[in-house]
Amino acid sequence: MSVNQYIKPITAVVNNKEHISIGGCDLVELAQKYGTPLYVIDEATLRGICRDYQEAFKNYKNIKMMYASKALCTSAVVRILDEEGFGFDTVSSGEIYTVYKSCVDMSKVLFNGNNKTRKELELALDLNVGRFSVDNFYEAELLNTIAKEKGVNADILLRLTPGIECHTHEYIQTGQIDSKFGFDLTQVDKITEIIIKEYKNLNLKGVHAHIGSQIFELKSFGDEVEILVKEISRINQKYGLNLDEMNIGGGLGVKYTENDCPPNVKDLADVITEAMHKYSVNIPKIYLEPGRSIISTSGVTLYTVGSSKEVNLDGKIKRYVAVDGGMADNPRPSMYQAQYSAEIANKPDSLVKNDLFQKVTIAGRYCESGDILINEIELPHLEAGDILCVYNTGAYNYSMASNYNRVEKPAMVLVNSSQSDMIVNRESLDDLISHDNIPSRLRK
């Protein structure tokens, strides 16, 4: 098994206090020390999945790993991934700047996105970002203009939509024709000709595609490789070019619940490398961009249990238990109907008899009826003050968090070898109003 096939971090155990421990740190004690809600990242699990990827592709040296930063981008996470030999796929000036300030070699960074601003492109050029994934005609013209103004050249990949509809939630499909991302295959010749004839400050190096996220069907990746390899070969032959880079994106799924059966990383590597070996075209540089599968399993979120209620639905009792977080620190259930697994950190499942479990719905604290973190999960009897641990929250939780209801964003800690370190400070009330301004005519 590879780490993406685990629900819990690889260091999760029940300690001698009969509490759940991760990274050698008691989760109840972490909640007491740092407060809740609290994001917790297990360093051993994070490094473990990085090494799963490196080991899986060790016999295919052309493949380079690039972390999809949008899943979770903090300075400490960037440092760990840099140490593990990963480059970075970024989609905003904020991600680019975070990577830069974390002392990363910027030649290992790609700037991706469907509507990059002039300011973002200028920053990326000034910081010597290694590659730009050009998404559309407008961006190609704008990037060439800015590069010409600065007297530099930008190395680019063309982002393509290969027409692959992988079986995942429609909001996280990106490779189908009806997508906001990239050039469809009927537009490739037009943009290639424009770059060759007009955009002298753009160096076309290859192509880029990303077909979606939380993908379980490995055949989709093989199909993508086939399409991209054939397209590179066709472009090179028609225009006398020597495109030699192919970025196949990421998207491998993870195990949120027992019903999820994601493939392991070795199987992914086999599908990709076998597809590559089928073709004689020489592509010296191949990039893979895992994001969710790198960070998700290493993360858990801790909440403190508060109020509860029961409702009678035609004789059936439904139990709601509320926690001190919800859709602002994890919007995925309300956006994607995402499902999660959880335990009570101070009452581990393995120590509770089956007849003491009850079905409950975990509700958030925010003023929306749809603020439900987990709908109907079997847990030991919950009481106010219990610490709920929701597993597999490393990806797209903090990175999509908001201040809805004017609530402060949670802190994040990194745990390893019985040590915990704050890597994102908890927001304060003063942080919340730090960017507010009151016009002088309204001041008292």
Q: What pLDDT, on a 0 to 100 scale, did the predictor assign at position 175? A: 41
325-377 pLDDT, tens digit each: 999 999 999 998 999 999 999 999 888 877 788 999 999 999 999 999 999 99
Q: Is the pLDDT of residue 168 over 60?
A: no
Question: Rounded to an integer, what distance in angstroms lies between the CA atom of residue 171 and that of residue 137?
Answer: 24
Domain 42-295 belongs in CATH node 3.20.20.10:
yes
Superfamily of domain 3-41+299-433: Lyase, Ornithine Decarboxylase; Chain A, domain 1 (2.40.37.10)
Asked which of 25-39, 218-232, 381-395, 426-440 is least confident by mean pLDDT, the reply is 218-232
Asked which of 10-19, 91-100, 206-215, 301-310 is least confident by mean pLDDT, the reply is 206-215
Structural domain boundaries in the chain: 3-41+299-433, 42-295
Q: Is the pLDDT of residue 281 over 80?
A: no
Average pLDDT over residues 412-439: 97
Average pLDDT over residues 150-163: 95
Give the active site residue among 25, 50, 73, 367.
367
Q: What pLDDT, on a 0 to 100 scale, did the predictor assign at position 212? A: 87
180-207 pLDDT, tens digit each: 778 999 999 999 999 999 999 999 999 9
Q: Which of 119, 76, 72 is nearest to 95 (CA)?
A: 72
Q: What pLDDT, on a 0 to 100 scale, did the predictor assign at position 332? A: 96
Name the pTM for this structure: 0.94
- What integer best gives the mean pLDDT of the chain? 93
Average pLDDT over residues 156-171: 71
Q: Specify the higher pLDDT residue, 170 or 296.
A: 296
Residue 367 annotated to the active site? yes
305-323 pLDDT, tens digit each: 999 999 988 888 899 999 9
Q: What pLDDT, on a 0 to 100 scale, did the predictor assign at position 236? A: 94
Q: What pLDDT, on a 0 to 100 scale, did the predictor assign at position 173? A: 40
